[in-house]
Every structure is written in structure tokens, then in C-alpha cells.
Chain A
């Protein structure tokens, strides 16, 4: 069946071609060998690095933020565990697919996340914080479909007191795009939670702590396999504020639904005991990633809850300014404390007639009576004799017209006008008639509640000027030591103590027999001054009870107590509540009594 010679020929033919097959095969195999040399020897280090990057993830460990306490150690802010949702970008293979699945399990805006991620390909990005337990469980149970989605338990800021002291404490939030570009936040990464308002903001550097870092080995699905290295985070310092939260709460409750502010200082060392501003907000809401709608609502609220009236509210001081006037007239010896004038209820000046608040006048008035009954005509006359620039000089000595420098942002300076100021800002000369308005704390003059409290501290301490401070002590995490803040430096005004004692007598009389008798206390002697800050100028015959509330005057009361040995200086303003004597003075009295009871072991009413 085989033709042997044909077979032999054919076989020889095949054998000759097999050489080519062999050579071709060997060439290809050598090529493969070269490729292996290229991958494993020439580029071996490069692939070694890729393999390492593949399996290692660097995770930033958030430090616990420093705690906040009041002066007595009552907790103001702490941290509670909460679930944060991260995207580990190296582990995400199909970003769009993963993102599109997320809304099935939790409330997120895919577009926002997508914008936030941009073109990033590496690292961890926080995409939602404060997950509910339910959301966390849902995500965790669908891990397989969500490669790269990581839930990390972290601390969330918590304010046990809710909306109390919200303007002082402030709130925290994720570092913003614009903050990231700011040199101040140079060493912070995206996603960090930092203080955004209040003490949280101004003392952020102390509270922040230092991040740690953990390098872990993960498999292809992002599951951690083992920890390679860990550098633990260092928690932030715990801070003790000067606030007395018991008084702070009382102050806010006293203001209630009214808009206003109450500031109380320790006159000797500047400790801010109370810095209340109403209405406020809940710090927890703002720290928990507030919704854009809720945020807009807060911003557009006509009552401005985000404004800290205690340091940002600029009001005419009204009759409380008569304290400065008294110091000025005695200091310049324009008039003696016992010199009297006769008040008929009017002060004619040029073509105008300035009226006293009391029709018919106060009769014969010396300084003591002028302060006690808040006689306007007395101060019209004194103001006219003094002139604006000496008045402005004394006002500045009492800290008006400039920021107190309290450790909170956005403090306003108020305004103390002078001839120079008017020429510069209005391009007009000062008109003498304007001095008459300034003399009773109206006109261009404006002050903040904290400035008023500081002014009362200066009066209470016979001219000791001290900067209000909020930080009392810090527990340093690095050493564990409690570091007391040095009391701020003080400065003594060049006004004699006799002058202060004259003023104090007048202010004590305000409470005992003057305009603020409702501030009279059974347990403590209080000196103070009422004031009415005009919102709109009214004609004499307008019936004030008919005026819409938003046009009504603000009620001031500034005070210190006890008169003989002052321990607290207070400024109260209640917006649109008319007379200080009725609306503001009782609040100050209640606050002062509470303070004296707190510092005095004897129960209330024992005196």
C-alpha cells in the first residue's frame, strides 16, 4: 500500500522543511526569553514597586479633637464615634458603576461626589460622614458589589448642650476648597475636619491634634490583610474656657425668644463668664454637614441667628454712655461732682430744642442725680461744654471704638466719632449740634455689648483695663500637664480713683433710687446704668406703644456688683424692648444674683 520510494522522497522533503520549523520555533522562544528578561530583570524594580503599590494602602488616622470644658470642668464639646464613608480610589475599578450603586443604599448625590473626585486616581476620599447604623450595615453587606467603598468609624464632634453657647463654641466642618488653598491650612489634607466658627475656629490649632498614619496590606478587593506600620494619632489639647456655663445658660434663658446679648466679665482678670447672643443655632446641626437648604434658611433668617450679637452687634449706647461723659467731665474738670444745674426738660441749641426724656425736667441736678435719673439736659450741657474730641478721647480710653481682641473672629469695633473722623469719612466738618446727641449716646456713636461689659469692668476696678479672654487653661496632650493661661497684661487709666468713686456712687444710686430700681437685689449691691438705643428718631407726640416692634428702641443695662468689692461686670441689651430699666435691668440682676450665689456658699435669700 505504500510506495516506498515516494515515501522516502516525501519524508526527505518534510525533513528539509523541519529545519525551518525548528529555527522559527527557537526564534520565537528566544523572543519570549528576552521578554521575560525585559520584564523581570530590566524593569523588575519598576514592577516590584507597582506590586507594592497594588497591595499597600496608606490610611490617615484622624486624631480625636480636643475636648472643651467650661471653667468648672463642665463638658461643652466632645467626640462620639460615627461611621464615615470613604472611597479608596486604587480599589475602585469602575468608578461610575460603584457611584451609581451608592444611592440604592444611602442618601448621596452622585454628581457632587463625582465633582469632588475629579480626575483623582489615588488615595482615600471621604464621601459621606455621619452614616446611620442602618446605612453602614447596608453598605457593609453589599461590599462585594462596591469595591473600594470603605466604612471607617471615626469621631464626630458632639455638643452636649446643643444650642447653648453656640456662638462661643462654634462648630466644625470639613476643610473647604478655598481653605485648602489658604497658607494658614498648609499642612492639612482634604477631608480634615477643622473648626469653622467660634472657639473651634480660633483655637483650632490647639484642638486639632496630629494625624497618624497606618499602612496596611490589602488584597485585590480592598480587604485588609495585615498592618505593616502604624503611627498613632495624637489627640488635640483639651481646653478649659473662662465661661461659666451655668450662667451662660441662665443668660440665654433670660433672653428667651427676644433678640439680644448678655456679656459678663470678671473685671479683674478679663475672664468672659457669659457671652450670650440670641437667637442662636445648634452647633451639632452645623457640624453634622448641614443640608444646603437648611444652611440657606439660616443665612436668610431675618433675625440673623448666625450673628454673634455680643461681639458683632453695633448699637448706639444710649444713656449708658453717660458713664463716659461723667468720667470726661470730672477728668477735664469741666464740672465738679457737686455742681448743679437746673433742668426744665429742654436744652435749646441754635434753632433746635433738645428734649429730656422726662417732660418737665428733673429740677436741680448734680452728677449723682444726673446719673441716677439719667437726666439728659445735664449731659447736653456738659457735652456742649466739653466738645466732641475730648469726649471721643475718653470714650477710647474706656475701650470704645476698638475691638476688645477677644479670641473670636469677626468682632466689630463700633464707632467713636470725632472731628477728624467726620472730615475723613464724610468730608464734612463736625457740627456742634451733633455733640449734643453724642452726649446721651446717640448719633454716630455705636458700641458692642462686649465693649460695654469691658467699660463696666474698667469702672468697677477704678481704671484697670484688661482684655477679655476666653481660654482659661489647656490640658496638653503631649505632656498631660494642665497649663494655666497667663492672665492678660493690664493697663491703668490715668483717671483718679476719686473720679471713679464719684461715678460709682451715681451708678449705685441708679439702682437704689434711679431708673433701674428693678435691678435692686436683696442679696447683693449692684451699680449700673440703663440706656435706650434709638432705632428710629421719633417725634415727641408719637405714641410709642403704637410703633411696630422692629422700630422700637433697644433696651440697655450695664452693671457691676457688688458695688464695694466688684466681682462681675455685666452688659445686657434686649432688642426692641424699649427702656433698659424695665427690659434689661431685671435680667442683669438675676444673672448677678446667680453668680453671687454660685461664688458664695450661702443659699439664696439668706442675707
Chain B
């Protein structure tokens, strides 16, 4: 009904709905000549970053489908992936087998953390996002407790290259030299100086297919019903709480895999800070692709990762070119990441608020009509 009314101004609506991606295209266009990178370098960087980050961003889709908003708790999955990687490095399992092993080890940790997060979020219906945000910070404390104090003292760590000189706790940086870009290099092809990590993209494609398939399963339909209206879904016999927990667990497991793919590309990671901003950046990237808090597609993820990383590559150089200070560009891209999330959250909440007051207004109108009729 509403769509018919607005079909006349569809172009305006189109622009409005895609205001964030359009804004980003503009930012990138301004920065592009200022940064002065060669197209080959730019393309190479972009392809590398797409392979590195898309999997992580796809982890956000399922909770959105279940109406739980942006899952800031994906950081939990990232932590699980890191713990798995630390163990695998210590056991000296190298190459692709090491990556596969780390992924499998991350599953139980992710499930455990996901169950914890999902259960808490069920107690905070209506404010899942802020709760998941702080759960990720809380778990960061627990992660530090485990990695900084329990590893090496209670959890056996054999290699002193991994341990702090004091004998327990993991060093600031964990080297993944033995697995570095193993996934990316297998089956990689080189097109005009641009290295394309085919296997990584294949894995991402498989995840996309799984997500598309999952939407059509009974569970996927249940999730969408829960997102529409929890009470209606409950009346229809869906176990709402369980469905929501499953959504978070799935997201956490995927995030764990994503983190391992991300880190094998980088080749080493800062033990205590690699995961802290993963949630923010992934969410910002997804939103840049035109997603909103209640709706996100695979296309949004791909568009988002392209535009967001274009900005990430260009901003520091462009900032230096304009102001002569290299820090400006870095602050700028941080500001833009936070800003995009802020804008998306504001649009979401104000739409919700407006819809609420509109229904209130309609109800009041109906009531008045009824009263008039009664007279």
C-alpha cells in the first residue's frame, strides 16, 4: 500500500535509501586523485582486503535476519579464533592443515561463547545491540585473563617463543608465519599484476550459498518470523528464545572462521587488541554497503567491503596530502567508521520511533471515529 504511494518519487527514494553508499562513493572520488595511488596498486589492495574481510562481515547477516540487530558480539567469535590459533601455533601444526585445525578448534569455543551471549541477549530483548556491545567488552576481560594469566600456567604452552619471558601469558604479538597467506596462495592466480586469492573467494562463495540456502530452511523461516514479531512467532509455536540463541551461535562460529581467514592473511596478530575493533569495522563496512539494522543482504556486504576499504586505503594518504599531517587521515577514517554506525543507528531508531507514533496516531484516529459514530 505504502509502496504504491511512493512509486512516483522512486528516484528520490532510491537516493534516500542508498544515501550512505552514495556518500561513500563521493568521499572515495574526492580522495582518489589526492592519494595518487596507481590503479594496479589500488586494485591489488582492494582484492586482498576483500578476501580478508568479507567472511567476517557475512557473520553479521544471520542475527540481522533474526531481528537482533547488528551483532557487536561477533567479537566473541574473533576471540575464539585467536585462542584456537594460539594453540595451533604452539602445537606446531603448519600450513593449510593448521588453518583447518584452528577452525575446528574454534567451533566449540565459539559455540560456548555464543550460548553465553545469546542467553544474555534473551534477557535484554529490545536492547540487544548495546548489550552485545558490552558483552564483547566483558568477554575481552575474560580473554585477557585466559591468555595473559592462564596460558602457560594452567593451559600448557610449550614454546617460549610464544610465552612472555616471565613464563606465563602470551606475548604481545603472535606470529603466524607458518600459515601466512597459505589459504590465499593456494590456487591463487595473477591477472595483470593483481593477485586473486581464488580459494579464499571460493570459501566466501560457499558461505554465501549456505546463507541463501539457510534462509529457505525451516529454521531460517522461523528466524524471519521472530524478527517480524516475537509474540506472533511464539503463538505460532516457534521457540523464540532458542531461535535467537541459534542465530547468535551461528554468527559467532562464522565470525571465528572469519577471524582465522583474516589473520592468516595478515601473518601475525597483536594478541590483546586484534579482536577489539573487529566488530566496529565489520559493522561499519556492512552499513556502508547500504544495509540497515533490520535488513542486510549479501550484496550489501560485498558493496560495503569494497567502498569501506577504498576509503580505508585512500584516507591516510589523502589526509596527508591535504593537511600535511599523516595522523589526520587515520583519525578521519576512524571518525567515518564510527560516524557511519551512528548515522545508521539514528536512522533505524528514528524510523522505529516514527512508526510507533504513527500507529499511535492511527489508533487515536480510529478511536475518535468510533466515538463519533457512537454519538
Partners in one complex: no
